[in-house]
Amino acid sequence: MDQKTFENKAEQLNEKMPEYCPITYSMSIIGSKWKIPILWKLILDDGQHYNHLKRMVGGITNTMLTKSLRELEDDGLILRHSDGTVPPSVTYHLTDLGKDLVYTMEELFDWGQKLHAAHEE
Amino acid sequence: MDQKTFENKAEQLNEKMPEYCPITYSMSIIGSKWKIPILWKLILDDGQHYNHLKRMVGGITNTMLTKSLRELEDDGLILRHSDGTVPPSVTYHLTDLGKDLVYTMEELFDWGQKLHAAHEE
DNA sequence: CGGAATCCTGATTGATACTG
DNA sequence: CAGTATCAATCAGGATTCCG
């Protein structure tokens, strides 16, 4: 990226900046330990069941999975669908807002890879 | 975003996925409380002095500013320049890797704004 | 001016056991 | 199957003080 492009982008963002910082706001929503792993698994395979999701994410406890799913639901990134059967069957689905995150993740992916390559040298 | 675009992006990213997750990796670098605020101020005005940066960020303690700056330096996002004078004069500058973050921040910005608007309803 | 050293607290996360 | 309920540990971050 040349210096001009960098400065233009910085200025563009700064002009649009509200009182709250949208960047920090995003981080507060997806920044806790398990949010990205959960959302990523839902991006790859939407509509998963609780226990399947738990196996896919790997290493997460019930406490944290439940807590994270509730927060994601409250923030409007996923929807919880339960049919009322016994034994229960619950699936989790991305909302449009949740799916939009794939753009952000793409940038985080590319930058992370670049950084990782730099750190390997 | 239509469903096709979403699925294509997901598949593209999944195919490129290494053993480590670059998304999670990025988050581990910029996810702690003060990283984004510090980097943002440097994006707006590169080459700031320690105390000026402290005032610009606002609310940060010496402990956390120093710690964050050291980590950003170790991770290759900023450079610390000190002339050897007394009293000391130290400035912090973004590296190219640090400047590249402006793309990621742009996405976090846009998504955060969208989310905030949705939460206001 | 640009920090370092120490101590301390509260929030985040984890472990374990249990349930409709 | 899809969670809840406690309790324990950890750890990031903050407060305070001091220094070359």
Which among B29, B100, B111 has the least Cβ separation from residue A104? Answer: B111
Interface contact B115-A26, CB threshold 8 A:
yes
The domain spans of chain B are 32-120
Interface contact B76-A118, CB threshold 8 A:
yes
CATH class of A32-120: mainly alpha
Render pLDDT for A23-81 as a digit per residue (tens, 0 to 9): 999 999 999 999 999 999 999 999 999 999 999 999 999 999 999 999 999 999 999 99
**Mean pLDDT in residue range B61-70:** 98
pLDDT over 90 (residue B1): no
CA–C1' gap, A4 and C5, in angstroms: 43
Q: How confident is the model at residue A121 (pLDDT cuts 50, 70, 90)?
A: confident
Q: Which 3-state string (H, E, C) describes chain B?
A: CCHHHHHHHHHHHHHHCCCCCHHHHHHHHHCCCCHHHHHHHHHHCCCEEHHHHHHHHCCCCHHHHHHHHHHHHHCCCEEEEEECCCCCEEEEEECHHHHHHHHHHHHHHHHHHHHHHHHHC
pLDDT over 90 (residue A1): no
Residue type for position B113 = Q
Render pLDDT for A5-14 as a digit per residue (tens, 0 to 9): 999 999 999 9
Task: Give the rounded percent of residues in chain B with a pLDDT score beyond 90.
Answer: 98
**A88 preceded by cis ω (within 30°)?**
no
Q: Which of residues 61-100 of B touch A (CB under 8 A)?
A: 75-76, 96-97, 99-100
pLDDT over 90 (residue B4): yes
CA–C1' gap, A82 and D10, in angstroms: 35
CA–C1' gap, A72 and D10, in angstroms: 24
And the tokens for B5? Answer: 């675009």
**Mean pLDDT in residue range A96-116:** 98
